Amino acid sequence: MRGCGKPRKDASSKRPRRAARRDQAARALREDSPPYGTAAAGTPPQSSPANTEIGGCSQEAPLRFIDLFCGIGGFRIAFERAGCQCVWSCDWDRQAQITYEANFGERPHGDIHTVAVADIPPHDILCAGFPCQPFSIAGVSKKLSLGRKHGFEDKEQGNLFFEIANILEYHKPAAFVLENVKHLKNHDKGRTFQIIYETLTEALGYTVYHKVIDAQGVVPQHRERIFLVGFRKRRYFEFPEFPREGPKLESILETEVPEKYTLTDHLWNYLQAYAAKHKAAGNGFGFGLVTGKDIARTLSARYYKDGSEILVWQGPSKNPRRLTPRECARLMGFPEDFKIPVSDTQAYKQFGNSVVVPVVGIIAKAVVSALRRPADSPSELVLEFGERNDTADTSKPKARRMPVKYRIGRKRT
């Protein structure tokens, strides 16, 4: 599989050969994996508004985006903060639709399989946090234990990527931003990611960049997710750098918490015994007990079951407690005025399945900035010096070399 992050050279002498390779890759993908369909027979691919070409459009016109598998709207908040306009959304989960409508005033469309591609409005950016369960470690383990299919063979969720491919092929938006679990790169020995990457690049012609980002630089949670950013026209793009250390858990904790969030003696004793059993067997399973000075484990959709991955310490004389739904909202970077109109159980599921809003927000601003620049203008090549090795032996009068590297991007001020 080719590396990413470096646009292919545009040599006119290689165009026929490249086109042949792209056609061959597209045929191979259709034969070797569940195919993504083409647009309706006899219907030519549609183009988005003038903004899709970006280079000649008004710089003040808001870029239009669609919010696929939108959940409760993490992508929407992030891209609207970046000055973009949402023109369409969809999600099959009815409880998530309730939360989405309460906050954005519109109910998302339901099952994407029931929507004609031509009925989706033209747009400049496609956003999608497509379901991660078919590719996550926990999701795969659970499906295997139940004898169910996972990955692309999951009929309900695994083929949703090809719905994305259908939309990209038909509408040809200027850019897309996709999000999934870190394990996507390793699922099925890398074959899943290879199919996704080659579909986006070879079959659909996008320049694709990808990176695993840990949200702990902006929220008090260790949460690694892979992001794929693609551009229809070849553009230079660099993922923003995130702080290595961010806020601690105390920054999101409420001062007064109802007693119902404290674990019962029965549940707390069970979790301790369960952890001790697996520790004795050499396994790493157990609860995650944290204080306000720590960062939390990854919040998952199963948090409602026992809260074991994030338990807040309340002192030696009191059982630990779960996070409240509002604390979970803060942990995922949602604003304080975000409405939670559903039960605690549904809220835990929804926030556990969401994206971290500040992470997507930073990426959204970088994508918009890239689209606002002329497509054929290379970014500046910036010379960077590494940190001096201050622990080296300075007793000898020997010059110390500083590592040098180049990156594509604007010079930092």
Structure tokens, 173: 């938006």
Rounded to the nearest 10 degrees, how much is the dihedral formed by the CA atoms of 21, 24, 26, 31?
A: -150
Distance, first Cα to last Cα, the chain: 36
Q: What's the rounded Cα separation, in Å, for the pair 101 and 96?
A: 9
Mean model confidence pLDDT for the chain: 79
| Residue given tokens 């023109």 in the structure block | 87
- pLDDT-derived band at 377 (thresholds 50, 70, 90) equals low
DSSP-derived secondary structure for 170-229: HH--SEEEEEEEGGGGTGGGGHHHHHHHHIIIIIT--EEEEEEEEGGGTSSB--EEEEEE
Contact indicator for 320, 290 with CB cutoff of 8 Å? no
Question: What structural domains does the chain harbor?
Answer: 12-245+354-372 (3.40.50.150), 249-348 (3.90.120.10)
| Measured distance CA(96)–CA(352) in Å, rounded | 12
Query: Could you tell me if residue 207 is left (phi over 0), alpha (psi between -120 and 50 degrees) or otherwise beta?
Result: beta
The Cα 257–Cα 322 span in angstroms is: 10
Strand, helix or coil for residue 365: helix
Long-range contacts of 263-268 (CB under 8 A, 24+ apart): 263/307, 263/311, 263/319, 263/320, 263/321, 263/322, 264/319, 265/319, 267/306, 268/319, 268/320
The CA–CA distances, whole Å, from 120 to 68, 76, 253 equal 11, 17, 40
Question: Which of the following is catalytic: 70, 84, 127, 132?
Answer: 132
Name which of 106, 138, 74, 168 is nearest 301 in CA terms: 138
Question: Does residue 14 carry a pLDDT above 90?
Answer: no
User: Is 127 designated active site?
Assistant: no
Q: Look at residue 74 and tell me whether its pLDDT is greater than 50.
A: yes
Instruction: Please give the pLDDT value at position 333.
Output: 98
> What's the predicted TM-score (pTM) here?
0.77
Length of the chain: 413
pLDDT of residue 54: 60
Query: Average pLDDT, stretch 66-89?
Result: 98
**Could you tell me the pLDDT band of residue 139, with boundaries at 50, 70 and 90?**
very low
d(CA 165, CA 45) in angstroms, rounded, equals: 13
Alpha helices in 59-204 (DSSP H): 74-81, 94-104, 137-145, 160-171, 191-198
Higher pLDDT, 357 or 391: 357
Tokens read off for 140:
């795969």
Burial group, residue 329, by CB count within 10 angstroms (0-12, 13-18, 19+): buried
Q: What average pLDDT does range 356-372 have in this prediction? A: 97
